[in-house]
Amino acid sequence: MKKAVTIQAIAAALNLSRNTVSKALNGQYVPDKTRELVLKKAKELNYKSFNSETLKSNKYHILLLSGKPFHNMEFFIPVVKSIETYCFRHDYDFYQYTYVPKNDSFSFMNKNIKAFKVDGIVAIESFKPDLIKNILSLNIPVCFLDFPGFKIETNHKYDLICSSDQKTVCDYIKSLIDKYDLNRFTFVGDYRHCLTFHERYMGMLRGLSRTDKDHSKEEDILDDDNKFDYGDVELLKNRIASFKYLPECFVCCNDFVARNVVRAIQGLGFKIPEDTMVIGFDDVNIAVCEHPTLTTFEVDKSFLGQEAIRLLISRIENKNCPTRTTTIDCKLVKRESTKN
């Protein structure tokens, strides 16, 4: 009589743990490649409880919720595409919703969430405290892609994923100071807008403190981005022209702001990087579309989206796991806007 194939036998054949194989066969979260290997081997060995239904993922209904329209499309397109592709590959229903604040907007959104039986939410550009608290009050698993730069008091559990910027920025600022003996740095952007902007600002300050350089907020352009248009080159020109001395390096919250800072500096008749340097973030197309090309920090946007949906699925399948923060390292990309 032929001996029945066990989970342990599949695990041994693939050099995986029994627990990992069990999760893959029972529709729980494991990495895609691992699941495919396990299912293929189960079919090959004719595992007793394996059938065509095992090939199917649980049918989840996923909502991509944006707290406002995507203005930085170059950053978000690959993020959203990777989330959508992941859902398609796993046969999940995928919905997108842009939240527009009105008197009854959250109530309307909630009705749609119930109607579509949403199992989990990936929240992007959702930084308003009231919106975050409302989202969490739904008691639906949620993964936030970035978060406010200030503490949100809540007892609800959730996931947060964002790029890890502070140490990378700190190290680069320190290296510029050590190499060129720079003294005057200016951060440009509303560091209160989101956690990643806050971390970028803190990275600059840490780099300065590690080299004993003095700095005050008066040397930065930190206006509330609801009141100051960082896309207005003339406004930036006026602010930069008002400084007693031209900063030796501008550290900008993202590439969009950095490109406008470059245009403002050039409009004032200064050269980059000879007279001053400019650093951006995100490594989107605008970083290389004009000269000088921008030194920036690359964020793996597709991976960011994939990890967001993976975290969400794992929380759907284990709702009681603690609140988790996952950070993705960014990589320095040196170009023409800094001396290298």
> Which string of DSSP letters, residue by residue, matches 60-105?
-EEEEEESS--S-HHHHHHHHHHHHHHHHHTT-EEEEEE----TTH
pLDDT in tens, 181-223: 999 999 999 999 999 999 999 999 999 999 998 898 889 999 9
Pair type for strands 61-66 and 120-124 = parallel
Exposed, middle or buried by CB within 10 Å (0-12, 13-18, 19+), for 88? exposed
Q: Which class is domain 61-163+301-328? A: alpha beta
pLDDT in tens, 242-265: 999 999 999 999 999 999 999 999
Is the backbone peptide bond immediately before 101 cis, with ω within 30 degrees of 0? no
Q: What secondary structure letter does DSSP report for 290?
A: S
Question: Mean pLDDT across the stretch 268-292?
Answer: 95
What's the pTM value of the predicted model, to 2 decimals? 0.80
Cβ neighbours of 248 (radius 10 Å): 18
Q: Which long-range contacts (CB under 8 A, 24 or more apart) does 9-13 make?
A: 9/45, 10/38, 10/41, 10/42, 10/45, 10/47, 13/41, 13/45
Q: Which class is domain 7-55? A: mainly alpha
Whether 7-55 shares its CATH topology with 61-163+301-328 is answered: no
Phi, psi of 263 (to 5 degrees): -65, -40
- Considering the four listed CATH numbers 3.40.50.2300, 3.30.420.40, 1.10.10.1100, 3.20.20.210, the one that applies to the domain covering 166-299 is 3.40.50.2300
Ranges of each domain in the chain: 7-55, 61-163+301-328, 166-299
- The segment with the largest mean pLDDT, out of 37-51, 153-167, 263-277, is 263-277
